[in-house]
């Protein structure tokens, strides 16, 4: 009989979480460690990564901090030397520039694309090589509802978030025969440092809550469960997928409640 109770057990596995200093990455590191993984908490903000690792250790988990700037090839190469081929790779870093497309200059375009798309591509390539050579592993990249539905001011961000899904799908096709699964998670509105400016505008914050079926924003911990699922054997036949964790936003996008 299949031992279903062990589907989410990550004991003995190494999970590299990039962007672990705050937000979804921080929550993911905690969640993966809670299921038994050794969490390598990587971030450009290495002090924040160290706080996350210390909190995990304080809760009885196993974690280490690591400096990593996904924009810099040398930094990624150094991280590969330290970590090797992780069993789980989670990639969360992203930035947004909220401006009309006609007002976005080349520098802002390059900055958003360089981190969101270029950084994700770089770490998938470099860590994916070792995972493929070993013959197994799970990669989870963070997309967004903006990879599917947009609004004014989201052009470059939305393009990168659609792009990381297609990179993940392609890598899933290329590495499937070597036992490496690659998936994306697309959150809706989540209370993170990236969305702080919205929280400071009550009307904007409330409008976004009302666009979800659940009528509220998500906490980072509510995205972590999806990441644990995709990282674990519970998702052993899931690859090339994009899992929406959006409170129903994309299901009811543009909804109108008719007078039934």
* Residues forming the active site: 157
The pair of three-digit structure tokens given for residue 163, joined into one six-digit string: 């792009």
Record the tokens describing residue 66, joined without a space: 């690591």
Longest Cα separation, the chain? 62
Bridge partners, residue 184, by sequence? 141, 242
- Return the DSSP state at 195: G
User: What is the radius of gyration, based on Cα positions, of the chain?
Assistant: 18
Which among 194, 196, 224 has a CA at the least distance from the CA of 56?
224
CA distance 89 to 248: 26
């Amino acid at each position: 009989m299949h031992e279903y109770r062990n589907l989410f057990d990550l004991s003995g596995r190494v999970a590299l979480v990039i962007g672990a200093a705050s937000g979804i990455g921080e929550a993911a590191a905690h969640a993966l460690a809670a299921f038994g993984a050794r969490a390598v908490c990587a971030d450009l903000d290495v002090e924040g990564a160290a706080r996350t690792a210390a909190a995990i250790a304080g809760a009885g988990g196993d974690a280490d901090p690591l400096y990593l700037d996904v924009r810099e090839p040398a930094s990624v190469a150094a991280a590969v030397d330290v970590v090797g081929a992780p069993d789980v790779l989670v990639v969360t870093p992203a930035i947004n520039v909220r401006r009309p497309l006609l007002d976005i200059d080349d520098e802002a375009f390059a900055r958003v694309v360089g981190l969101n798309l270029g950084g994700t591509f770089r770490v998938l390539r470099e860590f994916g090589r070792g995972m493929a050579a070993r013959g197994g592993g799970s990669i989870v990249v963070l997309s967004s509802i903006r990879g599917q539905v947009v609004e004014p001011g989201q052009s470059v961000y939305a393009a990168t978030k659609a792009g990381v899904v297609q990179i993940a799908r392609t890598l899933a096709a290329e590495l499937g025969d070597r036992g490496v699964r690659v998936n994306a998670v697309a959150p809706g509105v989540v209370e993170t440092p990236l969305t702080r400016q919205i929280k400071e505008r009550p009307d904007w914050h409330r409008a976004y809550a009302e666009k979800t079926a659940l009528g509220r924003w998500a906490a980072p911990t509510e995205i972590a469960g999806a990441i644990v699922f995709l990282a674990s054997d519970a998702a052993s036949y899931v690859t090339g997928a994009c899992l929406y964790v959006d409170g129903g936003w994309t299901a009811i996008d543009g909804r109108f409640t008719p007078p039934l």
